[in-house]
Chains A and B, each alone.
Chain A
Amino acid sequence: MRRILAITRKEFIHIMRDKRLLGVILIMPLIQLFLYAYALSFDVKHLPTATLDMDHTATSRQYIDALQQSNYFTVDNVLTSYSQVDGAFESNRDKVVVVVSSGFGNDIAAGKAGKVQVLVDGSDSTGAQLGSAYSSALSRIFGAKIAITQAEQKGYNVTSAGGLTASVRTWYNPEGVSAAYFVPGLIVVLVTMITVLQTANTLVKEKENGTYEQLIVSPISRIELMVGKIAPWAFIGALDIVVIAVVGILAFGIPFRGSVWIFGISSLLYVICTLGLGLIVSARATSVDSANQVAALVSFLPTFMLSGFVFPLSSMPAALQFLSYFYPARYFMTISRTVFLKGGSPAVLMPQVAALAVFAVIIVVLAASIYRERA
């Protein structure tokens, strides 16, 4: 115990005396939080939009005004013929072209759905997807509104009048604010990066400095050394989780609906996984450079790609989906998002927590055996 504490104390001195490292641990997560939350925002607003009104009625103008006022579209280009559509896309000026077909006004007046064509620039897939979703939803709501107005004027029941009501509702994140969706995921990514990278470095650095030999001629077991070395990083990992969560809640107004206990326990399990992973890298690596590279490979990439952080797992090829089950980030990602945004009962989260626990045990046993074999 005394030896473990000696190592831990020494590690803390290293950390406290390394200004750059302190920055990486404490400042960088916050910078990344703001960077990701703003720059990686998947909210599409003010899509540059061109309109082509082939109807030229009061109703069609009303529709285009509604687009303009919706905040999602910025009508900056009014086309006069269909042949100009290509030009609008090619010049990269517009992402969306909304074509109001002739007869739009009459159809609405007749109680039928008005025909609107929405063309999107498929080269920007996110913008395209959302652009078309927004405009069709808008069109339907608009269509319904017109229908209602007309129906009221004509004095009969709306539901029987053929007017459409599109109801799109995003649960748990009703405004569709990306920040809310990102912060819980970002916690996972940042904590993975910091803990894996730093622990991967810690032993290799000692090897490069020649201090490792001094450690192993001392009567300290590998397991004691391992525990002493990861203890500070477990603390820092936990600290980072708390800081990002608090800033996320205060600065981005994200909710925390679930159990603090479940989140705490799974954070702990997850950090054990990442620290163990870092130690394994550190034991195998031959230089600080290679340790960094391998650590980035096993931490950043899978957490980014295989956890559902950026790309929904359900839309991945089956092979990658399968692979994602073998990486603990997936489970912690689900837990983090659930406890922040949904709440989630212990019964629902239990399988995820159990998976993390299994991983933690496997990784610790693996790391310990690697260390023992090198005694």
Chain B
Amino acid sequence: MTDRTPLETAIEARGLTRTFREVTAVDNVSITIPRGEVFGLVGPDGAGKSTLIRMLATVLAPTSGDALVFGHSVVSDPHAVKPRIGYMSQAFSLYGDLSVQENLDFFAELRGVPRSDMAARSKRLLEFSGLTEFRTRQAQFLSGGMKQKLALAATLISEPDLLFLDEPTTGVDPVSRREFWRIISGLHRQGITVFVATPYMDEADRCDEIAFMTQGRIILRDTPAGMKERVPGRVIEVAVSDHREAMAVLRALPCVHSLEVSGEMLRVLVAKDAGECECELRDALTAAGFAVGHVTPAATDLEMAFATLIPTAGAGESSDEQIPAVGE
């Protein structure tokens, strides 16, 4: 099994399944992720993203199926996997009563970073995460963004080849989020494979490839550009006074596929072959008595792709992802 996995492959999951009592959190997921890629996992809450990551990161045993990480099975040979990976869980997972430096040192010792390298590595990580001046502060007194950066630094101290990030920027301010992604881009350039689950489409857009996950299954996988192309139609941006009322009017039009609100705009998805749809939209709105601003074609975004490509059938009843205590 091991020798057939090409060297360029970081992760190869086959029929990975995890059930919690009656709930199937991850349902028969098979996926191969090449080395050096930033791979984004996108899906609604409860889709099974965390469970999938936890299985790949050897934290949780699969109910059935297996995954090879750098050719080693997470089921039968997790100890060969662990030294190669870093995992950053959704919740803050460092010791609040230990200082920034102590946290880094602890994980360095725990993961067997050579003593001679420890000081240099932690100095470098503190610098690039901007935590140098907070070195002696207890982790519990850091801000949300700093905590996440520290968690990332602690994950990186052992210089893993593959990084699992489970919604690393949830609850982090936009500035810190951007900074966090700057760091991830840096890692990408160093050739580290990154597997990241994110609820943010702008983050997904930065990935090399993304997969849509819902109800425990990966239903689509493509590059962000590819995902956008799959959207059946084109987007027209409409500036209009009253969003809610206007949406009702537009929805009634036969050429309109779907709608979403984006800031001050309405983004309307219309069928590709609908031709000169803009006028039709404007006329309908004007006739209904709305003050209409510009109506212009716009680029499809991932938000739109996500909304249209994920089957809506189960959207309403997406069961809560059950995350029991570790080790269950």
Contacts and interface: CB of A to CB of B under 8 A. Distances in A.
Interface of A: 2-3, 5-7, 9-10, 13-14, 17-18, 207, 209-221, 283, 286, 374-375
B59 A209 contact: no
B85 interface: yes
Given A216-B59, A219-B82, A5 B109 contact: yes
Nearest to B79: A219
A216 B54 CA distance: 11
Interface size class of B (residues with CB under 8 A): 20 to 34
A219 B111 contact: yes
B72 to A, nearest CB: 12
A160 B58 CA distance: 90
Contact of B95 (A3, A14, A213, A220): A14
B59 A220 contact: no
Interface stretch (B16-24, B86-94, B279-287): B86-94
A96 to B, nearest CB: 57
B181 interface: no
Contacts of B86: 217
A214 B109 contact: no
B93 A210 contact: yes
B107 A214 contact: yes
Contacts of B175: none
B93 A218 contact: no
Nearest to A374: B327
Nearest to B138: A17
B191 interface: no
B226 interface: no
B142 interface: no
A9 B79 CA distance: 24
Interface in B32-67: 54, 57-59
B83 interface: yes
A-B pairs, top 3 by smallest CB distance, nearest first, are A6-B109, A210-B93, A210-B91
Contacts of B58: 216-217
B252 to A, nearest CB: 48
A214 B92 CA distance: 10
B326 A18 contact: no
A218 B111 contact: yes
B100 to A, nearest CB: 13
A213 B91 CA distance: 10
Given A210-B91, A217-B59, A17 B110 contact: no
A14 B97 contact: yes
A375 B59 CA distance: 9
Contacts of B248: none
Contacts of B111: 218-219
B313 interface: no
Nearest to A204: B325
B102 interface: yes
Interface string B100-124: 0010001101111000000000000
A218 B110 contact: yes
B98 interface: yes
Nearest to B85: A217
A374 B327 CA distance: 6
A221 B91 CA distance: 23
Contacts of B107: 214, 218
B78 interface: yes
Contact of A212 (B83, B154, B326): B326
Nearest to A218: B110
Given A220-B110, A286-B325, A213 B59 contact: yes
Contacts of A283: 327
B144 interface: no
B297 interface: no
Contacts of B87: 213-214, 217
B21 to A, nearest CB: 14
Contact of A13 (B59, B102, B112): B102
